[in-house]
Structure 1
């Protein structure tokens, strides 16, 4: 389907780039961490290109065109209901929800407040707390309290707007992990991995397609593709 043809909203045409790899998800160190956090085989990135002019007000047409593109439908990978099994989109999407995800944070100093608020000690150790539950997660340290528990006294360390940042979303996703996650005692592995993934996905893009976690359940994740302007 060429740009501008019927059924291609906004004239957007996409090309699958199977040769584009993401080193942040394939290095030995990162794959070891993902395995520990029960995320190995359950997280991946794919690249598609387009060469038309894009404006933010066109985001709905852009996303709909993406999901209806004949180069996307047979190639876009989705995690199936079977544990660790991937499948392709396989059919046109009838309804979409496009959400702008800001990528304005360009430094890991964004997380310095975790030290300032004694959520993480100067040594880098994450401060422990009495166990509690925020379904389906067991909360056993102050970091996960800040990420999940809105009634926590330190939840407001990050504002609602900051929690929408793509860097925060990546960091949070890594910290929470999968169903058999072995949590870290130190903050450093989370920060290092989030930085690698973030830079890998957005460093060269003027418009990027990113994934937004729409459900906190480890067992049922609804994901949407989001066009986001990047400096």
Structure 2
């Protein structure tokens, strides 16, 4: 095995639930014990309305070797094959709908690098400029339509989902690939039982909060310009039976992102499994 490949260490586990996850590891392993914490209030309150409550999870891990983006496939495979990861990484059980650890032997992975360049929320200005959001902040409504598992009851969801919508092009293809846009879209679409917001602010502010929590930035010492350090990957893992992570049942709202900070050598994992959350 190449010497660069990281030996993953559990650093922190955070769950978007009223009960923290404690991921204790025996001190004899030489790995750090993880600490645990409750979710931020604004995360919890918002995700419960989206029926994402208790199905959205953030965990963080630490590694001890250098990371190079061009080695992403080896890096991600190493992550999923480390027993200290598979014994701690949480997934939703397809049979019970409850949280469990991955605990399987991963054979292969897919890792798609996600562009992550945005440093402000100006990406979403077209929503106001094109009348999808009114001056009051209220989202323009429309007659209910259905696209796959989603109910479209306003122009916000139209611009996110319907390519035939005449305002779909207010976001360019490159805009739609950005991690900031994807995070916003995930929160807007929510879970299987979703109560939509009437105004745009909860979506934008929660997106901003989670985005800032997950990413690391640096400031250039001379120009003082801010840039994003983190690399973001949307990941899928396979065992002998097929897809085992994030779920054996694919869905646009079932996702797992690995956010790698090469300076602190931290990995944040953002996971969601589509379904009906706990109320």
TM-score (ref. length: structure 2): 0.71
Distance 1:10 1:107 in 2: 34
| CA–CA separation in structure 1 for the residues paired with 2:188 and 2:152 | 11
**Deviation of residue 187 (structure 1)?**
0.3
Q: How many correspondences in the alignment? A: 220
Partners of 2:35 and 2:182 in 1: CA distance: 23
Of the candidates 72, 75, 79, which is equivalent to residue 66 of structure 1?
79
Query: Structure 2 CA distance, aligned partners of 1:209 and 1:20?
Result: 23
What is the root-mean-square deviation in Å for CA atoms of aligned residues? 2.6
Partner of 2:173: 160
Between the aligned partners of 2:257 and 2:42, the Cα distance in structure 1 is 27
Query: Deviation of residue 130 (structure 1)?
Result: 1.7
Q: Aligned-pair distance for 1:107? A: 0.3
Match of 2:131 in 1: 118
DSSP 3-state at the match of 2:52: coil
**Superposed, which structure 2 residues align to 1:73-152 within 5 Å?**
73-82=86-95, 84-152=97-165
| CA separation of 1:120 and 1:156: change in aligned 2, threshold 3 A | same
- Mean Cα displacement is larger for which, 51-60 or 209-218? 209-218
Please state which structure has a larger fraction of its residues in strand: 2
Whose RCO is larger (CA < 8 A, sep 6+)?
2
- After superposing on structure 2, the runs of 4+ consecutive aligned residues of structure 1 that deviate more than 6 Å are none
Q: SS at the partner of 1:45?
A: strand
Counterparts of 1:132 and 1:145, CA distance in 2: 9
Measured in 2, the distance between the counterparts of 1:167 and 1:197 equals 10
Equivalent position SS for 1:96: strand
Provide the residue aligned with 2:11 in structure 1.
17
For the residue of structure 1 that corresponds to 2:84, the secondary structure is: coil
Richer in helix (by share): 1
Where does structure 2 lack aligned partners over 5 or more consecutive residues?
A: 13-33, 218-227, 237-245, 264-279
> Counterpart in 2 of 1:55?
68
SS at 2:213's partner residue?
Answer: helix
